Amino acid sequence: MSIFRCSLLVLLLTAAGCTPAPEVPADLIFLGGAVWTGVPGAPVAQAVAVKSGFIQAVGTDREVRALRGRGTEVVRLGGRMVVPGFIDSHTHFIDGGFQLASVDLRDADSPEEFSRRITEFAQDLPAGTWITGGDWDHERWGGDLPKREWIDAGTLLHPVLVSRLDGHMALANSLALQLAGVTGSTTVPFGGEMVLDPDTFEPTGILRDEAMGLVSRVIPEPTEEELDRALDAAVQHALSKGVTQTHNMGTWGHLDTFRRARDDGRLKIRIYSVVPISTWERLRDFVAENGTGDDRLWWGGLKGFVDGSLGSTTAWFHDPYADSPGTSGLLTTDTASLRRWIVDGDGAGFHVIVHAIGDQANDWLLDVYEEAAETNGPRDRRFRIEHAQHLSGGAISRFAAQEVIPAMQPYHAIDDGRWAEKRIGPERIKTTYAFRSLLDAGAPLAFGSDWTVAPMDVLEGIYAALTRRTLDGANPDGWVPEEKVTLEEALTAYTWGAARSGFMEEKVSRLQPGKYADLVVLSRDLFQVDPVEIPSVQVDMTVVEGAIVYRREG
Ligand SMILES: [Zn+2]
């Protein structure tokens, strides 16, 4: 028995022998819990000790209690669960911070409610202030796209550009169109589309993908102070959800904001700051001057887009949409440029991360990744495909074969699953959000949220991956249930898999001595909870690098 215990307790400072070293007391210990370590072969323990920001020991209560000294803070878990800090591998983090303070249309389920919320929000804002964010979803009221007439009367003094929750289309009001000089005869840029009223040939206010830039370019840039506030709000929100690291798919302005916070000691979360792939040469120059950051904030990733989204009918498929036979999607970036950026960015040693949703977009991208790897020679490059949502039969095995990381968001499956079949038919949904097939084929799955497209809520994501119950309740046994994963697999994709997708798995993501003490206390042991109840489990405490950065009140 004692030999067994000894093997569980791996001490940082005493690799040999079973006697703990009381002369090195822990800063913080967790006792009496259900600890899921994430370590293959040794996933379960009772207790964890933390010292100087690192995991000091993981083992039984008795073993860890021996590390208690005068100044040690003791957290009694009483059966609650400890897991490695959650890693959200895909967020639009600063946008999320702004969204926390903007109009919320996510669950508006009628045109009246949509209009009422915007009107009410405008009443409290100084005249001239832009109303953005929103995250509306027209599928909630049957699929009619909103029109500017719905909101004009309530927003005479406020320009509005509110987005669909996938960020691939937006509604502008008349004032916003007027400020931007957009009319029915405005030329729409490549990769975009402007919806016109069939009678008047005037814009309805709906702008898709690149056409959103016609209006968004006249929105004043946020000030540094506004960006800092948005970041701080996003960090607080993330920590309250147990997220200790995220990969921000964003801009250079975001990177500047993160660096300010890092320099001020305000960055309580780890961030991998990814910049647009079209700017890879700027990244090359920036890295030559500034390096690639540290374990709290790092960069070196490049983000591109092949196509749009399913919800906006702009994901790029081999075959036309079932409900819009005139289209099979839209390329949001001209493929010749994107191909060149991928090959050159990879050739310069950077980490290439590209959005692909439709089956043709995924096939195209897998081809280009293959070409880039051949051109630039072997290395640990970890190409990522963001969303990897609809895959052709041949694509699934290519992820493993080419070592491409599918970076996926389980919440999207239970959200899009409400109406995806209407859009692409019964055949193509079989390889939609194919988590199970990808894992079985050996693909290195990473999970995330895509906040603000979906809520930044890992427990909701785990629930989605385990149950595949669509949000409308129409699929109690799961939508395409063959693609469900296990709890252990979902946790791994939100910890080790996500860490690996940002080159951080050696330092975090498993509760092992010597790794950073990034961990989360959950109100219940997920392995004892019916998967259907997982969303009701609470995050009680979040720890980053040994510091308790969130504690649930009450
Ligand atoms: Zn995204």
Report the Cα 523 to chain-centroid distance in Å: 23
Provide the β-strand partners of residue 248.
Answer: 91, 273
pLDDT value of position 6 = 41
* Per-residue model confidence (pLDDT) at position 125: 86
Q: Find the 305 Cα to ligand 1 centroid distance in Å.
A: 10
Token pair listed for 102? 């903007």
37 Cα to the center of ligand 1, angstroms: 29
Q: Which residues are within 8 A (CB) of 242 and not within 5 positions of it... i.e. 6 or more apart? A: 83, 85, 86, 458, 459, 520, 522, 539, 542, 550
Residue 451 alpha carbon to ligand 1 centre in Å: 7
Tell me the residue type at 486: T
Do 275 and 353 contact (CB within 8 A), yes or no?
Answer: no
Nearest Cα to 420, choosing from 331, 307, 309, 306? 309
In terms of Cα–Cα distance, which of 488, 497, 442 is closest to 466?
A: 488
Question: Token match 């194919």: residue?
Answer: 434
Rounded Cα–Cα distance for residues 494 and 252 (Å): 26
User: What are the structure tokens assigned to 187, written together?
Assistant: 């030329």
Angstrom CA distances, 358 to 92, 139, 187, 319, stand at: 21, 19, 27, 10
| C-alpha of residue 452 to centroid of ligand 1, in Å | 8
The rounded Å distance from CA 519 to ligand 1 centre is 25
Say whether 37 sits in a helix, a strand or coil.
coil
Tokens of 180: 């931007």
Tell me the CA distances in angstroms from 496 to 147, 178, 204, 239, 519, one per residue in order. 44, 49, 46, 18, 13
The pLDDT value given to residue 330: 80
CA of 265 relative to ligand 1 center, distance in Å: 27
Asked if omega into 452 is within 30° of 0 (cis), the reply is yes
State the pLDDT at residue 23.
Answer: 64
% helix, strand, coil for the chain, step of 5: 35, 20, 45
420 CA to middle of ligand 1, Å?
A: 19
Query: End-to-end distance of the chain based on CA atoms, in angstroms?
Result: 39
pLDDT at 313: 87
- Residue 5 Cα to ligand 1 midpoint, Å, equals 44
For residue 240, the 8-state DSSP code is: H
Which 3-state string (H, E, C) describes 254-274? HHHHHHHHHHCCCCCCEEEEE
Centre of ligand 1 from the C-alpha of residue 409, in Å? 10
Distance 249 CA to ligand 1 centre (A): 7
In this predicted structure, what is the pLDDT of residue 494?
Answer: 98
Q: Which of 420, 423, 367 is nearest to 398 (CA)?
A: 367
272 C-alpha to center of ligand 1: Å? 14
Q: What is the pLDDT along the chain (554 residues), one digit of tens a residue?
A: 333 344 444 444 444 444 444 568 999 999 999 999 999 999 999 999 999 999 999 999 999 999 999 999 999 999 999 999 999 999 999 999 998 888 999 999 999 999 999 999 999 888 998 999 899 999 999 999 999 999 999 999 999 999 998 889 999 999 999 999 999 999 999 999 999 999 999 999 999 999 999 999 999 988 899 899 899 999 999 999 999 999 999 999 999 999 999 999 999 999 999 999 999 999 999 999 999 999 999 999 999 999 998 888 899 999 999 999 889 998 877 899 999 999 999 999 999 999 999 999 999 999 999 999 999 999 999 999 999 999 998 999 999 999 999 999 999 999 999 999 999 999 999 999 999 999 999 999 999 999 988 999 999 999 999 999 999 999 999 999 999 999 999 999 999 999 999 999 999 999 999 999 999 999 999 999 999 999 999 999 999 999 999 999 97
Q: Which of 180, 177, 169, 168 is nearest to 206 (CA)?
A: 169
- What tokens were used for 107? 């669950």
The confidence score (pLDDT) of residue 117 equals 96
Phi and psi at 441, nearest 5°, equal -85, 0
- Distance, CA of 269 to CA of 549 (rounded, Å): 9
461 alpha carbon – ligand 1 mean position (Å): 15
Please give the distance, rounded to the nearest whole angstrom, from the Cα atom of residue 366 to the centre of ligand 1: 19
